[in-house]
Structure 1
Amino acid sequence: MNPEKLSPREAWQRYIDRRRTELTQGSISTYNYRLKLWCEWCERQGIETVSELSGWTFDQYESMRAGKDLAPNTLHNEMETLKDHVAYLERIEAVDDGLSEKINVPDVPQDERSRETKLDTDDATQLIRHYRNSESDYGTNFHVVLELAWHTGARLGALRGLDLRDYDSGEQYVEFVHRPQSDTPLKNKTHGERVVSLRREVCNVVDAYIRNERKDAHDDHGRQPLFTTIQRNRPQKGTFRTWSYRATMPCVTGGCPHGYDPDTCEFRNHTHASKCPSSRSPHHIRTGSITWHRDCGFPREVTAERVNASQDVIDEFYDKATKMERMQLRRRPHLDKLEIE
Structure 2
Amino acid sequence: MSNRDLSPREARSRFLSRRKAENTDRTLRTYENRLTRFVEFCEERDITKMSELTGWDIDEFRADREAADIAPTTLRGSMVALKQLLDYCESIDVVEDDLADKVNVPTLTRSEESSDQQLAHDDAERLINFYRSSRKWQGRPEHVVLEVAWHVGCRMSGLRALDLRDYNPDEQTLEFRHRPPYTRLKNKEQGERVVGISEKVVDALDTYLARERVDKRDEKGREPLFCARQGRPSNSTFRAWSYMGTQPCLITQCPHSKRRETCDYTRRNFASKCPSSRALHAVRTGSITWQLLQGLDIETVAKRVNARPETIRRHYYKAGLHEEFEELRADVTLKLDIEDNDS
Letter in 2 for 1:219: D
In the TM superposition, residue 80 of structure 1 has moved relative to its aligned partner by 1.7
Count of residue pairs brought into register by the alignment: 328
| Alignment of structure 1 residues 243-322 onto 2, 5 Å | 243-322=241-320
User: Which sits farther off after the overlay, 200-209 or 261-270?
Assistant: 261-270
| Aligned position for 1:128 | 128
Partners of 1:115 and 1:129 lie apart in 2 by 26
| Aligned position for 2:108 | 108
Letter in 2 for 1:134: S
| Aligned position for 1:178 | 178
Contact 2:296 2:326 (C-alpha < 8 Å) held by counterparts: no
Partners of 2:160 and 2:240 lie apart in 1 by 13
Q: Deviations over 1:79-110 (max 9, x none)?
A: 12212222333333333332222221122222
Partners of 1:274 and 1:51 lie apart in 2 by 41
Q: Would the alpha carbon gap of residues 3 and 111 (structure 1) be closer, same or farther in structure 2, given more than 3 Å must change?
A: farther
Partners of 1:16 and 1:3 lie apart in 2 by 22
Partners of 2:79 and 2:171 lie apart in 1 by 47
In structure 2, the residue corresponding to 1:174 is in which secondary structure? strand
In the TM superposition, residue 331 of structure 1 has moved relative to its aligned partner by 7.1
Q: Would the alpha carbon gap of residues 277 and 33 (structure 1) be closer, same or farther in structure 2, given more than 3 Å must change?
A: closer
Letter in 2 for 1:202: V
Contact 2:141 2:208 (C-alpha < 8 Å) held by counterparts: yes
Contact 2:2 2:93 (C-alpha < 8 Å) held by counterparts: no
Partners of 2:112 and 2:247 lie apart in 1 by 26
Q: Would the alpha carbon gap of residues 26 and 141 (structure 1) be closer, same or farther in structure 2, given more than 3 Å must change?
A: closer
Contact 1:4 1:51 (C-alpha < 8 Å) held by counterparts: no
In structure 2, the residue corresponding to 1:271 is in which secondary structure? helix
Identity %: 45
In the TM superposition, residue 142 of structure 1 has moved relative to its aligned partner by 1.4
Q: Would the alpha carbon gap of residues 246 and 11 (structure 1) be closer, same or farther in structure 2, given more than 3 Å must change?
A: closer
In structure 1, the residue corresponding to 2:268 is in which secondary structure? coil
Letter in 1 for 2:179: R
User: Which sits farther off after the overlay, 39-48 or 275-284?
Assistant: 39-48
Letter in 2 for 1:31: Y
Partners of 1:14 and 1:322 lie apart in 2 by 45
| TM-score, with length taken from structure 2 | 0.90
Letter in 2 for 1:281: A
Q: Would the alpha carbon gap of residues 90 and 271 (structure 1) be closer, same or farther in structure 2, given more than 3 Å must change?
A: closer
| Alignment of structure 1 residues 46-57 onto 2, 5 Å | 46-57=46-57
| Aligned position for 1:142 | 142
| Aligned position for 2:207 | 208
Contact 2:242 2:280 (C-alpha < 8 Å) held by counterparts: yes
Deviating above 4 A after TM superposition, structure 1's stretches of 4 or more consecutive aligned residues are none
In structure 1, the residue corresponding to 2:174 is in which secondary structure? strand
Q: Would the alpha carbon gap of residues 121 and 269 (structure 1) be closer, same or farther in structure 2, given more than 3 Å must change?
A: same
Q: Deviations over 1:184-220 (max 9, x none)?
A: 1111111111111111111011111111111211111
Determine whether 1:199 maps to 2:198: yes
Partners of 1:12 and 1:136 lie apart in 2 by 48
Q: Larger Cα Rg: Structure 1 or Structure 2?
A: 1
Q: Deviations over 1:67-86 (max 9, x none)?
A: 11111111111112212222
In the TM superposition, residue 147 of structure 1 has moved relative to its aligned partner by 0.6
Contact 2:80 2:105 (C-alpha < 8 Å) held by counterparts: yes
| Aligned position for 1:37 | 37
Q: Would the alpha carbon gap of residues 189 and 263 (structure 1) be closer, same or farther in structure 2, given more than 3 Å must change?
A: same
User: Which sits farther off after the overlay, 88-97 or 51-60?
Assistant: 88-97
| Aligned position for 1:242 | 240
In the TM superposition, residue 133 of structure 1 has moved relative to its aligned partner by 1.4
| TM-score, with length taken from structure 1 | 0.90
| Aligned position for 2:66 | 66
Determine whether 1:160 maps to 2:160: yes
Unaligned ranges ≥5, structure 2 = 328-343
Contact 1:4 1:49 (C-alpha < 8 Å) held by counterparts: no
In the TM superposition, residue 24 of structure 1 has moved relative to its aligned partner by 2.8
Q: Deviations over 1:170-192 (max 9, x none)?
A: 111111111123x2111111111
Q: Aligned Cα RMSD in Å?
A: 2.1
Q: Would the alpha carbon gap of residues 134 and 290 (structure 1) be closer, same or farther in structure 2, given more than 3 Å must change?
A: same
Partners of 1:216 and 1:92 lie apart in 2 by 47
Partners of 1:122 and 1:239 lie apart in 2 by 25
Letter in 1 for 2:237: T
In the TM superposition, residue 9 of structure 1 has moved relative to its aligned partner by 2.8
Partners of 1:319 and 1:210 lie apart in 2 by 33
Contact 2:302 2:309 (C-alpha < 8 Å) held by counterparts: yes
User: Which sits farther off after the overlay, 125-134 or 15-24?
Assistant: 15-24
User: Which sits farther off after the overlay, 311-320 or 29-38?
Assistant: 29-38
| Aligned position for 2:333 | none
Partners of 1:87 and 1:271 lie apart in 2 by 38
